[in-house]
Amino acid sequence: MNEVVAEFQSVSKTFGRVKAVTDLSFQIHRGEILGFLGPNGAGKSTSLNLLQGIRHPSQGKVSLFGRSPQSLEAKRKLGVTPQDLDFPSHLNVREVLRMVCWAHGRGREAELLQRLSLQKIAERRTSVLSGGEKRRLGLACALAGAPELILLDEPTTGLDVESRYVLWEVVQQEREKGTTIVLTTHYLDELDKLGDRVIVIDLGQKLFEGSVRQIKSFVDFQKLAFDLPKGFELVGINHLSLQRDDQSCVLIVADADETVRQLVHNNVPFQNLHVSSASLEEAFLHFRRRSVGGEAATGVQEGPTRPSPEALMTSVASPPPTRAPPTQPGGVG
Amino acid sequence: MVILFFRLCAMTLTETLRQPTYVVTTLLFPAMFFWFFGVPNVKDENSARFLMGSFAAFGVLGVVLFQMTVGVAQERASSWNVYLRTLPVPATIFMFTRLFSSFFLAVLSVGCVIATALATTDISMSAERWIYFLTAVFLAGIPFAALGLVLGYLTTPRSAVPVANLIYLPFSFAGGLWIPPNGLSESVRQISEKLPTRFYGEIVWSVVLGQEVKERWMWGQAIYAVAFLAAAIYLHQRDETLRFG
């Protein structure tokens, strides 16, 4: 588990004046499932592109199996499923997979077609595949070279239930075989089940590195969902984040009891109150939306305990030992 | 690697030949045009050779120009092309695959014109003359492959076909590949003498008629080849830096 298969050393990547990744350092260990989390534009895909050797770092060093990611030796051990992959439209599923297998010097398309439940559509042109079928074919291509490291860029986005099930089953099988997997996803529950380690990045910088359990313990928010009369203005309620439409409201709060007391105290005519734990995804995305000013002014008071995202992540990055001690080597960064 | 190269070529050709629009317009049109417009004007064997040479050159021009322009423009916008770079094969193999496939399709196009000529005219040439003709028609067509690369790097998938047509059709006509240069108007003839399609036509006509190939035609075509190749290399490097730098 501690063998390093890939490493970023103070890597920065700029596009003109835009800093996509800034001073990013981390290691990927053999056999782990590492999740890359962050909002759109955070630098996740750029980081994966650097790891695949598609892009060159502006500063710093990226190594893959101890070599340059551009080297053919490193690529032989790598399998990739890009976020959006448009296959050659006039070839069928079998031909596409065969071509990728040829590139890896392996003839295992029949095995992969079966494994990814693609046999029935093997002769179908890729132009008529559904989103789920394309993702399964993309995963089959990633497995073509029996890789030691698989990079999956948002592999389950837009997938139907069957395809998602097949995909996670394959990820589980690969994990059991000892394959290292790096993935970006918006579905944090999936990482919760399978992920060993998480790196949170935003604006190209690493905000957190640690276990899923660790990050969840620090983002221990609650979600209050309730109905409100149309046009009612919510004032004087502490919250971390708010989502509002015509007749309903969702608040992400640090203390649900206190917020309910405030709702009652302020005579807010709420109905159908539902309190639940906020998922990590909700907490992170709500935080992110708030931090970039994506919400319109609502007249709702920001909670006195509301930390900034930076403060949150700083606190996450330096956790008090009594809350959640690191479980991974070098897990807190 | 050699086996992989030919396998990839086969796959690229399979993909191309599954596009009926492409097959009809690019591979069959030169032969059809020769049959419709060339054959009725055949008066003797020399005119048959001349017209066959013209339409064969027209076929090569169309295949390489469209294969390169549209192919490169589409590849640059394709995530599949980016994905191929993650595979353990040199990126240049895919470029050579495209070049080889274009050459093969050009052979098919010329083959269709020759078959039409053999079927509809009394054309007869020695084996040596056929070899010279085929060598000339493919070698002298190289500048258009480079021009196709240049256009491919300057266009988008949406604009590639119209831009290629803007070059293909006027250059073919003004170069004398549809009607002989002496049938062109004076103003067009003046332009024609500076065009690569005219140099191309003159080289092919000279070879197919067994006449001496003038040096200025060969030098003209060589200069175009070098200029287009230099531009293609510059644009390729610029594109590589922009997309993969």
Please state, for a pLDDT cut of 70, what percent of chain B lies above it. 100
A91 → chain B, closest CA residue: B15
- Which pLDDT does position A303 carry in this prediction? 38
B4: chain A residues, CB-CB within 8 Å: 102-103, 105
Question: Is A72 near chain B, with CB under 8 Å?
Answer: yes
From residue B152, give the alpha-carbon distance in Å to each of A73, A206, B65, B70: 31, 39, 9, 6
The structural domains of chain A, ordered by start, are 4-217 (3.40.50.300), 221-277 (3.30.70.980)
Nearest to B11 among A52, A78, A99 (CB): A99
Q: What is the pLDDT of residue A285?
A: 59
What's the first-to-final CA gap in chain A, in angstroms? 18
Give the tens place of pLDDT for each residue, A187-218. 666 677 778 888 888 888 888 888 877 776 66
Residue B244 Cα, gap to closest chain A Cα (Å): 5
Return the exposure string of A17-44: e unless at least 16 CB atoms fall within 10 Å of the residue's CB, then b.
Answer: eebbbbebebbbbbbbbbbbbbbeebbb
Q: Which of A82, A85, A88 sits opposite B15 (nearest CB)?
A: A88
B78 to chain A: which residues are within 8 Å by CB? 86
Residue B226, classed as helix, strand or coil, is: helix
Residue A236 pLDDT: 80
Any alpha helices (H) in A90-230, and if so which ranges? 93-103, 109-115, 131-143, 161-177, 188-194, 212-218
Residue A148 has pLDDT above 90, yes or no: yes
- Asked if A115 is an interface residue toward chain B (Cβ–Cβ < 8 A), one would say no
What tokens does B197 get? 């399609």
Window from A150-154, A221-225, A268-272, A284-288 with minimum mean pLDDT: A284-288
Residue A193, chain B, CB below 8 Å: the answer is no
Higher pLDDT, A149 or A161: A149
- Spatial distance between the Cα atoms of A8 and A209, rounded to a whole number of angstroms: 13
The residue in chain A having the minimum alpha-carbon distance to the alpha carbon of residue B3 is A102
Dist. CA B194–CA A73, nearest whole Å:
49
Instruction: Judge contact between A30 and B220, C-beta under 8 A.
Output: no
Which comes out higher in pLDDT, residue B100 or A292? B100
Task: Note whether B8 contacts A54, CB cutoff 8 Å.
Answer: no
Which chain A residues touch B84 with a CB distance below 8 Å? 103
Looking at residue B98, what is its pLDDT?
A: 87
pLDDT for A286 equals 54
**Mean pLDDT of the region B3-18:** 90
pLDDT > 80? residue A331: no
* Residue B105 pLDDT > 50: yes
Q: Distance between CA atoms of B1 and B167, rounded to whole angstroms?
A: 36
Q: What's the mean pLDDT when you consider all of chain A?
A: 80
- The answer, yes or no, to whether residue A304 has pLDDT greater than 60, is no
Query: What is the model's pLDDT at position A2?
Result: 78
The verdict on A16 touching B (C-beta cutoff 8 Å) is no
Q: Which of A85, A90, A99 sits opposite B79 (nearest CB)?
A: A85
The average pLDDT across B140-164 equals 94
- Range with the poorest average pLDDT among A284-298, A303-317, B148-162, B199-213: A303-317
CA distance A243 to A266: 19
CA distance B197 to chain A (A): 32
Spacing of C-alpha A267 from chain mean position:
40
* Residue A72 in tokens: 């053919």
| Contacts with A54 from chain B: Cβ below 8 Å | 82, 85-86, 244
Identify the sign of the CA torsion B37, B40, B46, B49.
positive
CA distances for A270 relative to A231, A233, A234, A246, A286, angstroms: 13, 12, 10, 13, 21
CA dihedral B3, B5, B10, B14 (to 10 degrees): 150
The pLDDT of residue B154? 96
Query: Is the per-residue pLDDT at A300 higher than 90?
Result: no
Q: What percent of chain A has pLDDT over 70?
A: 80
Task: Spell out which residues of chain B touch residue A99, defining contact as CB-CB under 8 Å.
Answer: 7-8, 11
| pLDDT of A135 above 80 | yes
Mean pLDDT to the nearest integer, A246-264:
87
Of residues A56, A90, A104, nearest to B88 (C-beta): A104
Q: Of B85, B35, B80, which is closest to residue B58 (Cα–Cα)?
A: B35
User: What is the CA A166 to chain-centroid distance, rounded?
Assistant: 19
> Is the Cβ pair A87, B78 closer than 8 Å?
no
For the stretch B188-242, pLDDT in tens is: 999 999 999 999 999 999 999 999 999 999 999 999 999 999 999 999 999 998 8
Paired residues of A67 in beta bridges = A64
Measured between beta carbons, the chain A residues lying within 8 angstroms of B88 are 72-73, 75-76, 103-105, 145
pLDDT at B143: 95
pLDDT digits (tens, 9 = 90+) for A82-120: 888 889 989 999 999 999 999 998 888 899 999 988 999
A235 in Cβ contact with A78 (< 8 Å)? no
Q: Is A273 on the interface with B (CB under 8 A)?
A: no
Task: Judge whether A116 and A136 are in contact, CB under 8 Å.
Answer: yes
pLDDT value at A155 more than 50: yes
- For residues A146-150, average pLDDT: 94
pLDDT at A294 over 60: no
Q: Is the predicted pLDDT of residue A268 greater than 60, yes or no?
A: yes
Q: Residue A23 — very low, low, confident or very high, per pLDDT cuts 50/70/90?
A: very high
A66: left (phi over 0), alpha (psi -120 to 50) or beta: left
pLDDT of the residue at B222: 96
What percent helix, strand, coil does chain B show, rounded to 5? Answer: 80, 0, 20
Average pLDDT over residues A250-273: 88
